[in-house]
A and B are shown apart, each in its own frame.
Chain A
Amino acid sequence: GDSVTQMEGPVTLSEEAFLTINCTYTATGYPSLFWYVQYPGEGLQLLLKATKADDKGSNKGFEATYRKETTSFHLEKGSVQVSDSAVYFCALSDLSGDNAGNMLTFGGGTRLMVKP
């Protein structure tokens, strides 16, 4: 079945540091890929997405490129802020086969802590 693997956290960075959170996936079809962010005590919010190979999703200074050859969707940001402290989830939606209902497969989440 489909699966998503993220680097384990927590990731602790100083403000203005460069961020990379690794995400790799396995899927039987041609999935859409997502990064969601969860702030403390809240639900998940979509951060960015990519629907086909070589697409780059971007939002709020975050970027991720859909790499089919390496089955990866790594999240990057050039300069993190304290307000970026949250848990980040990589996810895929494989609409082929039985998944006609947009069920997402999530990675385990990576906690990011940014210190001033």
Chain B
Amino acid sequence: DGGITQSPKYLFRKEGQNVTLSCEQNLNHDAMYWYRQDPGQGLRLIYYSQIVNDFQKGDIAEGYSVSREKKESFPLTVTSAQKNPTAFYLCASSRIGGTGELFFGEGSRLTVL
């Protein structure tokens, strides 16, 4: 089945550690996105990529980094510079153009101890 796979589903880290969240899609979508969701709040865009080897900052990129070496993969690294990293992270993908629909993974919950 086509879809988006995020891993791990739950992740714990100590302060000062970098962690990388995986996102893989087999939908042949060109665009991929990372969103952050905090309890009781909406989604905020961290980074997005429309093509391999290119990506753009979203609204809250500070303390995060991404790469897009393959069309299928868009990993997110939460660095130690991110001051409040505990959150639910959602990866999504879409075609370019069309009606604008995004397809989401099931999310990764990061907790900083």
Q: Check: B90 CB closer than 8 A to any chain A CB.
A: yes
Inter-subunit contact A104/B41 (CB<8 Å): no
Inter-subunit contact B105/A102 (CB<8 Å): no
The tally of residues in B whose CB lies under 8 Å from a CB in A reads 29
Q: Which of B48, B50, B101, B106 contacts A42 (CB 8 A)?
A: B106
A38 and B110 CA atoms in complex are apart in Å by 18
Give the interface segment out of A12-20, A67-75, A76-84, A106-114: A106-114
Q: Check: A101 CB closer than 8 A to any chain B CB.
A: yes
Q: Check: B95 CB closer than 8 A to any chain A CB.
A: yes
| Mask: chain B, 66-104; 1 = CB below 8 Å from A; 0 = not | 000000000000000000000000101011111111111
> What is B's interface to A at a CB cutoff of 8 Å?
4, 6, 31, 33, 40-43, 45, 48, 50, 58, 90, 92, 94-107, 109
> What is A's interface to B at a CB cutoff of 8 Å?
31-32, 34, 36, 41-46, 49, 51, 89, 93, 95, 100-104, 106-109, 111
